[in-house]
Amino acid sequence: MILTGKKIEFGNSSSFRDFTDVIEDVNNKGFDYLYVKGEAYTDADKENFFHNMIEIVSLCEKKVIVEFPLTHFEDMKKLYYANVSQIIASEGTTLEDSVIEDGKKRFGEKLVVNKKDFGEISSEFEIISNCPEILKESPEEYNAKEAFYLTDTSKSSVGATEFKNILESKGFDVFTLKCEIPWEKLKKNADGLIPAIVVDYKTDKILMMAYMNEDAYINTFKTGLMNYYSRSRASQWIKGETSGHFQYVKYIKADCDFDTLLCGVSQVGVPCHTGKDTCFFNDALVNESPEKNPSKILTDLYKVIEDRKVNPKEGSYTNYLFDKGLDKILKKVGEEACEIVIASKNEEPKEIKYEIADFLYHLSVLMVEKGVTWEEVADELAKR
Asked whether residue 65 falls in the same domain as residue 162, the answer is yes
Nearest to 363 by CA among 378, 375, 373: 373
Q: Is residue 272 part of a domain?
A: no
Which pLDDT belongs to residue 156?
47
Asked whether residue 91 falls in the same domain as residue 124, the answer is yes
Asked whether residue 10 falls in the same domain as residue 53, the answer is yes
Q: Is residue 281 part of a domain?
A: no
Q: What is the CATH number of the domain that holds 165?
A: 3.20.20.70
pLDDT digits (tens, 9 = 90+) for 281-333: 998 887 776 667 788 889 889 999 999 999 999 999 999 999 999 999 999 99
Q: What is the CATH number of the domain that holds 238?
A: 3.10.20.810
pLDDT digits (tens, 9 = 90+) for 229-283: 999 999 999 999 999 999 999 999 999 999 999 999 999 999 999 999 999 999 8
Percent of the chain with pLDDT over 90: 53
Which pLDDT belongs to residue 120?
46
Asked whether residue 209 falls in the same domain as residue 80, the answer is no
Asked whether residue 246 falls in the same domain as residue 326, the answer is no
Q: What is the CATH number of the domain that holds 338?
A: 1.10.287.1080
Q: Is residue 278 part of a domain?
A: no
pTM (two decimals): 0.73
Asked whether residue 221 falls in the same domain as residue 326, the answer is no
Question: Which of 223, 249, 267 is the last residue in one of the domains?
Answer: 267
Which pLDDT belongs to residue 278?
94
Asked whether residue 247 falls in the same domain as residue 315, the answer is no
Question: Which of 113, 143, 169 is the last residue in one of the domains?
Answer: 169
pLDDT digits (tens, 9 = 90+) for 56-84: 999 999 999 999 988 888 988 999 989 99
Question: Which of 267, 282, 316 is the last residue in one of the domains?
Answer: 267
Q: Is residue 286 part of a domain?
A: no
Which pLDDT belongs to residue 158?
55
Which pLDDT belongs to residue 159?
67
Which pLDDT belongs to residue 12?
87
Asked whether residue 151 falls in the same domain as residue 202, the answer is no
Asked whether residue 129 falls in the same domain as residue 193, the answer is no
Q: What is the C-alpha separation between 63 and 52, in angstroms, rounded?
A: 16
CA 371 remoteness from chain centre: 19
Asked whether residue 192 falls in the same domain as residue 141, the answer is no
Which of the four pLDDT bands, split at 50, 70 and 90, describes residue 118?
A: low
Which of 145-154, 183-192, 371-380 is predicted least confidently?
145-154
Q: What is the mean pLDDT of residues 150-154?
A: 59
Beta strands in the chain (DSSP E): 2-10, 33-38, 63-68, 86-89, 112-114, 122-124, 147-150, 194-200, 206-212, 227-230, 235-238, 247-254, 261-267
